[in-house]
Amino acid sequence: MAIIVQKFGGASVADAEKIRRAAKRVMERMQGGHQVVVVASARGRQTDELMRDALELNPNPPKRELDQLLSTAEQQTVSLFAMALDAMGAKAISFTGGQIRMLTDGVYSKAQIISLDSDLIRYQLDKGRVVIVTGFQGIDQYGNVTTLGRGGADTSAVALAVALKAEECEVFTNVDGVYTADPSVFKNAVLLDEISYDEMLELASLGAGVMHFRSVAFGKRHNVRIRVRNVAGNNPGTIITHEVPQMEGVLVSGATIQKDMAKIGLVGLPNVPGTAATVFARLAAAKVVVNDIIQTEISPEKANLSFMVNTGDLPTARDVAQELKTELHCDSVFVRENIAMVSVIGVGMRSQYGVAQRFFEALAKAEVNIDSITTSEIRISCAVDISQAEKALEAVCLAFQLDRPARQRAAI
């Protein structure tokens, strides 16, 4: 019998009514003849409340104890979920990460999954039970509770789908799936029927995905068919899967906007080996996340180096840059705030020409000034002034016909 893994995030299990709604999703799949494994997150704001309780006692709580504490929130959800299913007449059993031997490394608060006991889960499924597993948590080899960090519950779900050779991993959320662009910015954005792992990874790293980068990467590595769909209503959602030939006909799958960005430049750096390594080692040590690095030579001896940071990291990044200026003897440091990144993503770019041209033409026609440009194999990004960002996104969306489904778009 085919197995389906269904993952419900915190908002989808926030209260009794929502848990019942989620449980009905399970019943539907059961009635469709599937065996169902549920992965559930902490209810609503439970994790935040526990974190607040912890900080009240210790401003810097030991990580082991924090994981021991936070893991209780999912344990509560899964047992309540099992009770809800029982009340609907289904047989159900809940498990913590420890109980299914979801073995991780020992890095508290951001552990990586090593293995899990799929035999136990299969045994329970074969007894006609729905198996409900805590997302976001595991245990290390000594039995200490670990949590998986951001995107952890999605990763748990994908790991279970891999281990159980599930037909599909359904990730329930509060949107219908993945859109060509953020509908709150580009009103005519349309829902994608499917998207490739690589495109989804680009979207996730641009902060636009409904799933975390890590779980998509895990799904790609193990070839798990992931369906992102709305817990309310009946929309079939978006399937994330391996690239198929027809995807190449689609030039651009989606466009994104990232606000809260700032650019820092080091002007006139000595152009000697190791300079860039020093810069980024220092930024990493200060825990600054860096994007879109651009280096250009300005003379045989000197180069300019710029990079983007989130506004939240700007004060730290600025301090590091000032220290580096003195240390590396560069001419000056500049900071540009109020930047947004507008990007288009599509695996079709690999095999077709003219994407960059159309992108820049659209921005030119909309009179958007481009600060800098970075690209990957399946992405083009421009830094623009925040005041022009939404206009830029709309222009790009229209240029690539992101207001209609892929198969209704005109050929270039």
Q: Point out which span in 49-57, 252-260, 346-354, 356-364 binds a second copy (CB under 8 A).
A: 49-57
Q: Which two tokens stand for residue 300?
A: 């045989």
Asked if residue 180 lies in contact with residue 203, where contact means CB atoms within 8 angstroms, the answer is no
The CB-of-140 to a second copy minimum distance in angstroms stands at: 11
Q: Is 260 left (phi over 0), alpha (psi -120 to 50) or beta?
A: left
Is residue 50 near a second copy by the rule CB under 8 A?
yes
CB count within 10 Å of CB 352 equals 14
Count of residues of this chain found to bind a second copy when the rule CB under 8 A is applied: 38
Instruction: Give yes or no for a contact between 12 and 43, defined as CB atoms under 8 angstroms apart.
Output: no
Determine the Cα–Cα distance for residues 137 and 159; give it in Å rounded to an integer: 12
Q: What is the secondary structure of 40-93 as a DSSP string?
A: E---TTHHHHHHHHHHHH-SS--HHHHHHHHHHHHHHHHHHHHHHHHHTT--EE
CB of 88 to a second copy, least distance (A): 9
Nearest approach in angstroms of CB 216 to a second copy is: 30
Reported in sequence order, the residue ranges of 167-231 that DSSP labels E, i.e. its strands, are: 168-173, 194-196, 226-230
- Closest CB to a second copy among residues 17, 377: 17
Cβ distance 7 to 172 under 8 Å? Answer: yes
Instruction: Give the shortest CB-29-to-a second copy separation in angstroms.
Output: 19
Q: Which stretch binds a second copy (CB under 8 A): 61-69, 180-188, 294-302, 346-354?
A: 61-69
Tell me: does residue 58 bind a second copy (CB under 8 A).
yes
How far is Cα 383 from Cα 389, in angstroms, rounded to an integer? 9
Q: Candidates 56, 234, 357, 408: give the one binding a second copy (CB under 8 A).
A: 56
- Minimum CB–partner distance for residue 50 and a second copy (Å): 7
Provide the token pair at 246. 């027809």
Structure tokens at 3: 């197995």
Nearest distance, CB of residue 85 and a second copy, angstroms: 9
Smallest distance from a second copy to CB 157, Å: 20
User: Are 358 and 344 in contact, with CB atoms under 8 Å apart?
Assistant: no
**Which listed range, 51-59, 170-178, 181-189, 210-218, lies at the site for a second copy (CB under 8 A)?**
51-59
Q: Which SS3 state, helix, strand or coil, does residue 73 take?
A: helix
Out of 19, 240, 339, 393, name the contact with a second copy by CB under 8 A: 19
The mark string for 70-109 relative to a second copy (x by CB under 8 A, - otherwise) is -xxx-xx-xxx-xxx-xx----xxx-x-xx----------
Name the site residues for a second copy (rule: CB under 8 A): 16, 19-20, 50, 53-54, 56-59, 61-62, 64-66, 68-69, 71-73, 75-76, 78-80, 82-84, 86-87, 92-94, 96, 98-99, 143-144
